[in-house]
Amino acid sequence: MAEVSLNVEAPVDAVWAVLADGWSYAGWVVGASHIRDVDKGWPEPETRIHHSVGPWPLVIEDTTGVVRCEPNRLLELDARLWPAGAARITFTLHPRSESLTEVRMAERVVRGPSTLMPKVVQDVLLTPRNKETLQRLNALAKGRATPFH
């Protein structure tokens, strides 16, 4: 399982606000290029984001669905990218102070041809992408936490 963490420079509610905004995913999830729709009620379990992945015109359209949601604490997703497969991605939030939140992101391939790849290869491919994803999440959460002047 590829697992990374980052101390995000924002309170837990600002981090959660980014995770709970399905329309923002293309802005911080590495690889997502376009959000086509977000189910009403996102991020309640069984709601989905309808997304596109990849550069135009080589775009794959698929969905990411919520498996489990505990506001301000945990968001578990089933991210599909057929024909490659699907991954289970879990974000766990741990407040470290009023203005600092540790975010852990764990990802593992759960379905499709990508499951044939050795776990060590999956980790080598996913870890840098997920580190960048958390850096982008950090920037957006920081922006939400900063009052406008």
Domain ranges of the chain: 2-145
Q: Does CATH number 3.30.530.20 belong to domain 2-145?
A: yes
At residue 30, the pLDDT reads 93
* C-alpha closest to that of 93 among 17, 144, 2: 17
Whether the model clears a pTM of 0.75, i.e. scores above it, the answer is: yes
pLDDT band at 149 (very low <50, low <70, confident <90, very high): very low
Residues 6+ apart with CB under 8 A from 126: 2, 107
